[in-house]
Chains A and B, each alone.
Chain A
Amino acid sequence: MENITPQLYALLVFMIVGSIVAIETRNLLSAVISVAAVGFALSVAFLFLGAPDIAITQLVVEVLVLIILIRGTILLDNTAVESHRDTLAVVTSLIFFGLVLGFGAMIFGGRGFPEFGEPLMRVSRVYVHTGLPATYCANIVSSVILDFRAYDTMGEATVLFTSILGALALLRKDGKRKEEEVVAA
């Protein structure tokens, strides 16, 4: 198998540049589309990293994210927020994010953490070796999601249902109070 590190670096640089454009541009539509470009690069990175299921899911979710965000932005207000830039706040936050970056590099790049390309796989070895005999599923990721860790998937469905319910409750047209006001009037 060939070495994928150069491709991965190229995609990561693309993602970082796309994020800078998304953060610093004044137009909201440009920012949303830049974030979508970052998401599609992420999908390609998943393909290189040997995760085709994740890549497909990321692609579908990315299109939905684009639709939802464009609905939330361009149909309402596409103008940038024109306000004076608070220099002290920006400098302070940049200093603290430098600290976050440094400590993150110390923790996740230091000793005791698995090197890139050498995962621990203490639990996953069992899944890989017993996946086919135990669940009759050729795709080990599917067997982990739907059989070994099915309770996780149930929790995911609960979270998804709750968030969609909350969004519907926020977006409904006629609330209860409005009806009472109409009756009172």
Chain B
Amino acid sequence: MTVYFMCIVLLTMGLYCLVAKKNIVKKILGIVIMDYAVNLYIIIVGYKTGGVAPIIEPNMPAATLERFVDPLTQALVLTSIVIGLGVLSLMVAMCIRLYEKHGTFDMSVISKLRG
């Protein structure tokens, strides 16, 4: 249970960084940290004690199939990681564009400029 709780701590720290920081790059880093926390949480939910990676080897005893960790969560997280990269590139592109237009990363200055 403590493992779940530490994942939620990581998620909350990312949320704090996203909401309370003024710098746009810091906000992006908060989203990245939340992404990591959620991915790790889903993988931990699918972990089985004494589990092995779900890869079938030749001449493997049939009992090993019961020791596999959950392959479904791993497949979903694999999708999620790649989508996280795409979303991050879009956010950084917006960030670069805002800097070219306003000359600063400060959120409060940008909202005052009414650009």
Q: Give A contacts to B, CB under 8 Å.
A: 1, 3, 5, 8-9, 12-13, 15-16, 19-20, 22-23, 28, 31-32, 35, 38-39, 42, 45-46, 49-54, 57-58, 61, 64-65, 68-69, 71-73, 76-77, 80-81, 83, 89-90, 93-94, 97, 100-101, 104-105, 108-109, 114-119, 121, 123-124, 127-129, 131-132, 138-141, 144-145, 149, 152-153, 156, 159-160, 162-164, 166-168, 170-171
Number of interface residues of B (CB under 8 A): 82
Contact A39 B70 (CB under 8 A): no
Sample of 5 further A-B pairs with CB below 8 A, known A12-B10, A116-B4: A68-B89, A69-B25, A97-B15, A101-B9, A141-B74
Contact B32 A93 (CB under 8 A): no
Chain A neighbourhood of B75, CB < 8 A: 141, 144-145, 149, 152
**Complex Cα spacing A185 to B62, Å:** 77
Nearest chain A residue, comparing its CB with the CB of B103: A77
Chain B neighbourhood of A46, CB < 8 A: 40, 43
Contact B94 A170 (CB under 8 A): yes
Where chain A touches its partner, the secondary structure class is helix
| Given A115-B1, A156-B79, A163-B87, residue A15 in contact with residue B10 (CB < 8 A) | yes
Where chain B touches its partner, the secondary structure class is helix
Nearest chain B residue, comparing its CB with the CB of A12: B6
7 smallest CB-CB distances across A and B, nearest first, come from A117-B49, A163-B86, A1-B50, A140-B54, A167-B93, A72-B92, A144-B75
A44 → chain B closest CB, angstroms: 11
Query: Which of B6, B17, B65, B71 has the most chain A CB atoms closer than 10 A to its own CB?
Result: B71
| Given A76-B96, A83-B108, A97-B16, residue A50 in contact with residue B52 (CB < 8 A) | yes
Contact B29 A23 (CB under 8 A): yes
